[in-house]
Chain A
Amino acid sequence: AQTVTQSQPEMSVQEAETVTLSCTYDTSESNYYLFWYKQPPSRQMILVIRQEAYKQQNATENRFSVNFQKAAKSFSLKISDSQLGDTAMYFCAREDGSSNTGKLIFGQGTTLQVKP
């Protein structure tokens, strides 16, 4: 089965510091899309950042950036200058391109606590 693995169930960081969340995945496709979603206590799923595997350059969205290592099938999320509002569960996901349905395969999530 093609899977997405997040090996850190819980993490914490001090406000204003930097934290990195890990994600590895399995795929046999040459081009695919990777995502990080955030789920705050409200439970609303919010897209944080996306990366196309074809592109070598790591995606960046303000304080959020990724370290995409295609050969290693690794897709980590770095949050800089952490804020209290970043407290949430973070999910790594890969789009299943084999079926052309756009469905996402999710990891088990990492709960991030930002401490004041």
Chain B
Amino acid sequence: SQTIHQWPATLVQPVGSPLSLECTVEGTSNPNLYWYRQAAGRGLQLLFYSVGIGQISSEVPQNLSASRPQDRQFILSSKKLLLSDSGFYLCASGTGGGNTIYFGEGSWLTVV
């Protein structure tokens, strides 16, 4: 099975400051990688996914961006955070075809 490492676990940032959340994957190669956001303890919204190095697809227009500099590294960034960016962010990894998608432990972001 795969292991997803995600950090930092908790982050409090002022409005207008930059953001970098990082995720690394162990136990597989060439995975599909995903960033989800969970607001107010409800459903998960897919923000970005990547099927390979340097390949990023955005699901919703937003203030955030993603990058995949290495096969098993996925980074979520922002140049200037908004209050609405607050939430719980989850990195996930999978191989498609109905196989299990594995999740990291998540990062709590509070923008103040």
Interface residues, chain A, CB within 8 Å of chain B? 33, 35, 42-45, 47, 50, 52, 89, 91, 95, 100-109
Contact = CB atoms under 8 A, between A and B. Distances in A.
26 contacts: A33-B98, A35-B101, A43-B106, A44-B103, A44-B106, A45-B103, A47-B100, A47-B101, A52-B98, A91-B43, A91-B44, A95-B96, A95-B98, A101-B32, A101-B51, A102-B94, A102-B96, A102-B97, A102-B99, A102-B101, A103-B34, A103-B46, A103-B49, A104-B101, A109-B41, A109-B42
Q: Which 10 A-B pairs have the closest CB atoms?
A: A102-B96, A33-B98, A45-B103, A108-B43, A106-B44, A102-B94, A102-B32, A106-B43, A43-B106, A47-B100
Contacts of A43: 88, 105-106
Given A44-B105, A105-B46, 9 more contacts: A44-B103, A45-B92, A47-B100, A50-B98, A89-B41, A91-B44, A102-B32, A104-B92, A106-B45
A57 B42 CA distance: 30
Nearest to A96: B46
A47 B45 CA distance: 17
B13 interface: no
Contacts, number: 55
> Which of A35, A102, A103, A109 is most buried by chain B, counting CB atoms within 10 A of its CB?
A102
Contacts of B49: 101, 103
B95 interface: yes
Interface of B: 32, 34, 36, 41-46, 49, 51, 57, 88, 90, 92, 94-101, 103, 105-106
A50 B105 CA distance: 21
A26 to B, nearest CB: 15
B94 A108 contact: no
A35 B99 CA distance: 10
A35 B105 CA distance: 19
B92 to A, nearest CB: 8
Contacts of B42: 108-109
A105 B57 CA distance: 15
